[in-house]
Amino acid sequence: MARKKRYLTATMADGYVKTIGPTAAPFTHYWRIVAYLQNGKTEVFWGHAVSAKEAAGKRALTEQAARRYGWQRFDFEVVALTEH
């Protein structure tokens, strides 16, 4: 039997709301990276994961990316998704 399609919503600390769906994937968490570049601009990377552990594991990769690409700094956030 096919899984039911659902909409998932992530609300970040700064009030940003991201809606994902319709999806049947078992996502539970949303992650977002805001990279502050040398030229004063920002880049945003985001994704979803099937566990908090998987989402938190992106932090180590983000630290490597910051060194590789010379970011001044970055913000990394993980929040739980809610189903609608």
What is the mean predicted confidence (pLDDT) over 67-75? 95
Compute φ and ψ for 68, nearest 5 degrees.
Answer: -65, -45
Q: State which amino acid sits at residue 5.
A: K
pLDDT band at 6 (very low <50, low <70, confident <90, very high): very high
Integer Cα distance of 20 and 68 in angstroms: 30
- pLDDT tens digits, 18-55: 999 999 999 999 999 999 999 999 999 999 999 999 99
> Residue range 2-17: average pLDDT?
91
Please determine, for residue 4, whether its predicted confidence score (pLDDT) is greater than 90: no
- Report the alpha-carbon distance of residue 26 to residue 35 in Å, rounded: 27
